[in-house]
Structure formats: C-alpha cells, structure tokens
Structure 1
Amino acid sequence: MKTLHTNTAGPNSAKASRVRWGILAMLFLITTINYADRATISIAGPEIKKLLGLSPVQMGFVFSAFAWSYVLAQLPGGWLLDKFGSKITYFFSIFLWSVFTMLMGTVGFFTGAAAVALLFTLRLLVGAAEAPSFPGNSRITSAWFPTQERGTAAAIFNSAQYFATVLFAPLMGWLVHTYGWQSVFYVMGGLGIVMAFVWQKTIYGPKDHPRINAAEMDYIEKGGALVDLESRQPVAAAPKLDTWPIIKQLLGNRMLLGVYIGQYCITTLTYFFLTWFPVYLVTERHMTILKAGFIAALPAVAGFLGGILGGFVSDRMLKAGYSLSAARKTPIVCGMLLAMTMIVCNYVTADWLVVAMMSLAFFGKGIGALGWAVVSDTSPKEAGGLSGGLFNTFGNTAGITTPIAIGYILQATGSFAGALVFVGANAAVAIFCYLVIVGEIKRVEFKHGPAARKADAPVAFNTAASK
C-alpha cells in the first residue's frame, strides 16, 4: 500500500552544498579499509594453516577470534559513540585496529602454541578496536542524510565490504605470493594508520562543518536528519540514559528484535565470504592462492553493484510514494532469495559456473544489505549508538558461529556442501524475520510518565527528557 511522502526540499535546495556526499565518501573509504583488514586473515589463511599445522576446526576458531571481541565490545563502543561523538571515538578505533593488524605480521617470529596464542590474541584486539565502526557509520548518516537518501547512503558505506575484496583481495593475494603472508598485515596496517589521521582532518557534524551552507543544512534537517547528533555543542536538556533498562526495552520491541535477528542471518553470508570462501576456492576447487585472490574479487564486484542497487531502489520507492516498510523490505527479501542460489554450487563442477552462482548470490546479498538503513530509520535518536551497537552485536555474533560451524561441518564431512546449505538457510530465516516478525518499520520514540506505562506503548524508557 502506498503512502504519500512530502518533498522536504525547499526552494533553495538547488543551490545547496553537497558536503554530505564528501562525508559519505570518507565513510566508504574507511569501511573499505575496515573490511580489508578483517579479510587479511582469510587471504593469509591457507599459508598460516600450513605453517602452524591447524585442523579445520582450529582454523575456524582462529577465524572467529575477531568476532568474539567485536561482539563483546559493541555495547561499550556504542556507549563511547553516544558519550564522546563519532569523530574522536572512530579515530581511535581506526588507529588501534590498524596497529594490531600490523602486529599480526610478527606472528611468524614465533612457533607452535605461542604463535597460535599470539595470532588469536591479536585478532581479538582487532575485533575490539573495530567495534565502534558500523554504529559510528549509522550515527553519522543519521546526522547528515534525510530519510529519503538514507537507504542510498547506508548501502554505499555497507557496499564497501565488497569493494574491499575487489580492490584488496588481488593485491593481498599478490603480496602473499610475492613477499610472504606477513607482508599483508604490514601493508594493510600501515595504510589504516595513515587513514586515521585523514579521518581526523575531514569528519565533522553538520553544525560544525566549515563548508556546509544554510541551504544544505535546511534541506537535510527538514528531511529528517538528526543534525544535532554529532554537534560539539551538547543538545539542550539531553537526558541521562540508564543503559541496561534501555537495552532491555530495545530488545522488548518486536520490530527491532526482528531487525536484529535478521541481521544475524544476513551477516552469516558476510562471514562465510570473509573467512572460508578463499579456503573453499583453494581446497574444494583446487585453485592457487594467487588465482583465488583474483577469483574472490568477482563475486565481490557483484556484491558491490547489488549493494548500490539495493539502496537506490529502496530510496526510489520512497520517493515514488511507497511506505518506508515496503521500500526497505522489498530489496531485503528479493536479495535474500537470490543469495540462496549459492547452494547450486554443490551441483556444478565447472569453475566458471561456481563463480557465476557465487556472484549471483553475493549480488543478492548486496541488494538485501539494508539493515543499517533500517537501524537509522528506527533507532531512538537519544540512544542511536546503543541501538546500533545492539544491532551489530546480533549481526556479528554470526562472525563467531559461522566460521566455527563451517569448521565442524568440514571436519565431519570433508566437503563444503553442507556449509553452503547452512549459509543459504540463514538467508531464508532472514526473509522470515522481515516478513513475519518486523511488521511496520518506524522510528522508536521515548515515552515518559503515565504514557510509558500503557500496554500499547511501542517502547518505554525511564527518562525525564521530552521528545
């Protein structure tokens, strides 16, 4: 059912600056580095596995190390974002994860259990340091983008996960082949340190940016951007939030819970791609690590294009008058249906067909990766960091379960066939979440006083703040 939306652009919107797109470009670049650093272990994985003599289950635990700390640090990361803002919190996040990535190159100086322990510990540290990144992306897009552009904005920064593979998987494969696996960590860690200082010089909130003009500010604010969210000046009468009661009540909201569980399922596909996919190409399809690095880039190109298309279609549907629920759910459901086609790889032998099916699956995964747009649309503005952190906690729990589950499947069966079914089944559950559990997509608002105690209140927070 269509609902009409009012065009919030004023008469001066044609003369408005476009600073927000420069901010989005920086989010895209940083997220590309973010995902490239996550993927270093998968590219170097076959060589590390051989060097340290690890079993599939042991390798699964090494692959999962990042996600253990990443998940545990989500809520503290969200609290830091809400407390100190995205600019400074994100700077330290980028700098620290890059330092820890660089240090992973030193694992080669150790042997046996010491090497495995150091590798696992450094991956834990990378995960903890990266925790504020995606909640930070969500906060910044909420502050800079009106509702009718937020799907495109979220799709663009989220599609960086595929662009990272397109750009860096061939490079990292070449580095491993030419200079050894350690070089991957040195190069990517050094690049991240440089980008941390670039971030510090380029990121501002809308009210603090030196180049935004009044027309752009008016356009984004009237369109629903939370322009005070990243301001250096504190918002008047900002409430003191009780963290655990808020978390409890966020989890008690059926819509948000459905979104969170759906993100877990969608992120299962991401972590298969980030961890076991290059190993699948090398061991199941008998490719060299150099060839696997280049082949892995092809599904990533499809995922990148799908990600951009999903956001574009969602925002076009909004502008055409469709409801927010229809505009967000349609690409997600269609994308997950396409993602399930990866199971077909179990029934084909030609490498080109495998690459084609994986490309179609990740094209679909890209189309359906609108979860961060939904979080920006729905999170209470007073607790956007916490809501984003909770969303990312659910999502990246898949980073723990997926590598380990696939490791056990491989050890039990000696084949990736069951692993592909496992990943495809998660896409089906994501469809169920959005069609059955989520319901209408709308922003959760604080309720106060007697209204907060009404049974029909969508979510109630114990706070004295006004809406």
Structure 2
Amino acid sequence: MTTVNQSIKPAQTAAPKASKARVLIAVMLFVTVVINYMDRANLSIAVPSITQEFSLSPAEQGLLLSAFGWTYAALQLPGGWLVDRVRPQVLYASCLILWSLATVFMGMAGGFVALIVLRLLVGGFEAPAYPINNKVATSWFPERERATAIAFYTSGQFIGLALLTPVLSWLQTVLSWHWVFIVTGAVGILWGIFWYFTYRAPKQMKLANEAEIELIRNGGGLVDLENTSTEKRKFSWSDARTVLSKRKLWGIYLGQFCLTSTLWFFLTWFPTYLVSYRGMDYIKSGFLASLPFIAALIGVLISGLVSDWMVRRGKSLGVARKSPIIIGLLLSTAMIGANFTDNTALVIMFMSIAFFGNGLASITWSLVSALAPQRLIGLTGGMFNFIGNLSSIATPIAIGLLVSKTSFAPAFVYMTVITILGVLSYVLLVGKVERVTE
C-alpha cells in the first residue's frame, strides 16, 4: 500500500504555473509609446497657432516639423550602439526624462529658432526609444507572442493620438499652444521616474517566476539578452558592415522608410491640412484628425493577432509577418482619393482607410526580431530606425515644398508613390524570413 502511494505522489505534484510578468512589461511599453508619440505629434497640433504668432511660410513650417527627424535619424546608430551597452532600465528612464524636459521648454520658447533647437533635442533624446522597445520585446516574449506584443505597444502611438489629439486641441483653445508642450512634457518626466523604479530584465524581475522564464526561453525569447549585451565592447565597423551588407535587411530598411512616410504625414501636416486647406476650426479638426488614428489602432491590433495566429497555425514567418505589411501598404494608397473630392466625409474616409493600412503594416519590428543577427539586435534596430525615419525629415520638407497655399494635391501623389515603392521592397528584397548570420 505504501508503495502504491509513493508511486502516485509525484503525479499529484503539479508543475508551477508560469507567471504573467510579461503582461506588465507590454503595458509599460504601451504607455511609453503613447508618451513617445504624444511628444512627436504635439507640434503638429500647435503649428497652426505658432504659424500665426511667428508668421511662418509653408517652407518654414516644413522645416520646423522636420527638425525632430534630423537628430532622431542621425542618432539612430549611436542610439542602437547604446542599446547594446546600457540596460533598458537606465537608458529608457534617462531618455524619457531628457526629451520631456526639452518638450516642457518648447512651451516656453519665444521664437522660431528656439523652437527648432528644442525640437532637435527632443528628436535626439527619443532616438534610442524603438530599439529599446525591440530589445525588451525580444527579451520578454516568445516568438508566438511577439507580434501580438509588438502590435499592442505599437498601438499606443495610435490610441494615444486618437484620444489625446482632441484633448490637446481643446487645451490649446482654452489656454494657449504653450501649454500643449508643458503638459505633455510633465507627463513624460513622471513616467520616466516610474520606469526606472519598475522595469527589470526577465531574470531580475521579482514578478516573473522560473516557469515564465522557461516559457519565454523555450519559445525563442532571449531572456539573457540584457545580461550578455551590456559588455563594454567598442564600436566595430565590421558590425556596421554586417548590418549594411545584407539584402534582407535592406528590404526592411527601405520598406520602413516608405511605411513611416505615411505615419509622418499624419504626425506633421495632417492637422494643418484640415485647418488651412479644409477650413476647419481647431476643435473640429482635432476631432476629425483623431478618426484615422482610431482606424490605425484597429489595423495594428488586427495585424498582431492575425500574424501570431498564422504562426501558431504553422504558417512560415515570411507569410505570417509579411502579409499584413504588404496588404497594409496597399491600403495606404487610398489617400490619393482625397484629390478627387471636396466632400469632407469622403476625405476623412480615405484618410482612415490609408491609416488603417498603415496600422496593419506596423508590425515591421517583428521582422527586425526575426532577421537581425542575435549579437547585433540593437545595432540592426538602430539602422532600421535610422533609414526608416529619414522619412521624418523627407516627408515634412517634401510636402512643404510641393504644396501651394491653395493646393495640397501634390502631397498625396508623393505619398502614394512612396507607398508603392514600399510594397516592392518587401516583395522583392526581403525574401525568406530567417535570422541573418554574420
């Protein structure tokens, strides 16, 4: 009898259930992205009022709107190098507080030059943000959950803007454009402090048990990434050559430039288009400008869920990751329809379809996770974000030069051509999705 009891006793001992600490990490990334994009888009809300106060031409508006992109793009590679060396707990908290301080001071700026300089600082301090996001996601999420996690935190850029655009427009109307920057900057400073005291790597997070760590590791998550990548190694040009010499990586670099061109149109010129070319007031334009962001939010959530569902159903990573991106880019060409109607409802419909497509395509960071050499995830992410966010410079300036005081049509032609080039990049250059070897 004793023998029988001893034989069944081990079977009665249940394996420990995996904790859900990675859910908290996903929420923290989501909130950080909301703040990140709030501080990118606040200028687009304020720029019509700034234009009136400082008498800016369309070209000057384009220069001001592009200032973020100059330093943001230029510092992607140094930012990616830092991501490979400095723990996300420290680096992200520092960046959050510094770019938020620059944002607060924008609300106190008394001239065009001061705004340009401070906007350059915001772009520079935000440069490491998305490579950090990608590093955290690669550390914390198994492959079958990663696209959903990336889609969830990426949705922060859309849901934050959808909800906050009307609020910030109202704040500007009630107080002034200065308070748009002061309030958004203060929120970022508080969140940077919270991040520093809360975020930890998987093995250092007390809320994550061994079962969860094993679940992440066995599913392809790199739970030791933050520990191994903080070695004090010098920058190597051979590493740079590696991430610049692979056709697959160039496919996602160029595709990201084309994808983010649409995003930067909505982050910079879209509110001005509604106010100056469609004759709307600030409150109405704030509400209507939020509708495409809601559509983009729906698109990005669908994209992540469907992509991971396809992975679980046995589809290749290439099919599961690239299909939503290519379909989304094709839908983004719908904005050209705005050139053929004067009906405001139809214009908003075309913009919403286009931005839904942009959201659907916004799981591109999942390809960085899948393709980047393991040792160079930060540098690859930096290169990906550098080339992709050259659009943050090109789009505002190109539109400022193409449009006239009475016609915005050339801008939509430009955006459509760029988007089609993005489709060709993913179809012809990326090929089979598999990790690049050094």
- The within-5 A match list for 1:222-237 is 222-231=218-227, 234=228
1:240 to 1:168, Cα distance in 2 relative to 1, 3 A: same
1:154-303 map, 5 Å: 154-231=150-227, 234=228, 240=233, 242-303=235-296
Correspondence for 1:346? 339
Q: Could you tell me which of 60, 63, 68 is aligned with 1:61?
A: 63
The alignment yields a C-alpha RMSD, in angstroms, of: 1.6
TM norm structure 1: 0.89
Query: Using the alignment, how far apart are the partners of 1:250 and 1:230 within structure 2?
Result: 20
Which consecutive residues of structure 1, in runs of 5 or more, have no partner in the other structure?
1-10, 447-467
SS at 1:83 equivalent: coil
Q: Which amino acid aligns with 2:141?
A: F
Give the match for residue 103 of structure 1.
105
| Paired amino acid for 1:47 | S
| Counterpart position of 2:426 | 434
Which of the residues 49, 52, 73 maps onto 1:50?
52
Conservation of the 8 A alpha-carbon contact between 2:271 and 2:289 = yes
Report deviation, 1:13.
8.6
Distance apart, 1:85 and its partner CA: 1.8
1:13, 1:216 within 8 Å by CA — same for their partners in 2?
no
Q: Distance in 2 between matches of 1:152 and 1:14?
A: 25
Q: CA deviation at 1:230?
A: 2.0
Q: What displacement does 1:343 show?
A: 0.6
Name which of structure 1's ranges 241-250 and 164-173 shifts more when overlaid on structure 2.
241-250
Q: Which residue in the other structure is 1:4 paired with?
A: none
In structure 2, what is the equivalent of residue 396 of structure 1?
389
Corresponding residue of 1:26: 28
Aligned-partner SS, 1:218 = helix
| 1:129, distance to aligned residue in structure 2 (A) | 0.5
Match of 1:417 among 395, 409, 421: 409
Q: Distance in 2 between matches of 1:209 and 1:370?
A: 26
Find 1:336's aligned residue among 318, 329, 335: 329
Distance, in Å, in 1 between the alignment partners of 2:219 and 2:179 is 46
Q: CA separation in 2, counterparts of 1:312 and 1:256?
A: 24
Instruction: Report if the CA contact (8 A) 1:102-1:186 is conserved.
Output: yes
Q: Does the 8 Å contact 2:333/2:420 carry over to 1?
A: yes
Q: Is the 8 A contact 2:84 2:229 kept in 1?
A: no
AA in 1 matched with 2:169: G
Distance 1:28 1:245 in 2: 34
Bigger mean CA deviation after superposition, 123-132 or 414-423: 414-423
Which position in structure 1 is the counterpart of 2:5? none
Q: Tell me, yes or no, if the aligned pair for 2:291 and 2:352 is still in contact at 8 Å.
A: yes
What's the counterpart of residue 79 of structure 2? 77
Shift of 1:185: 0.5
Quick one: which amino acid aligns to residue 296 of structure 2?
Answer: G
3-state SS in 2 of match to 1:369: coil
The residue identity in structure 1 corresponding to 2:158 is Y
* 1:134 correspondence with 2:126: no
Structure 1 distance, partners of 2:248, 2:87, is 26
2:305 matched to which residue of 1? 312
Deviation at 1:385, TM superposition (A): 1.0
**Gap change, CA 1:344 and 1:14, over 3 Å in 2:** farther
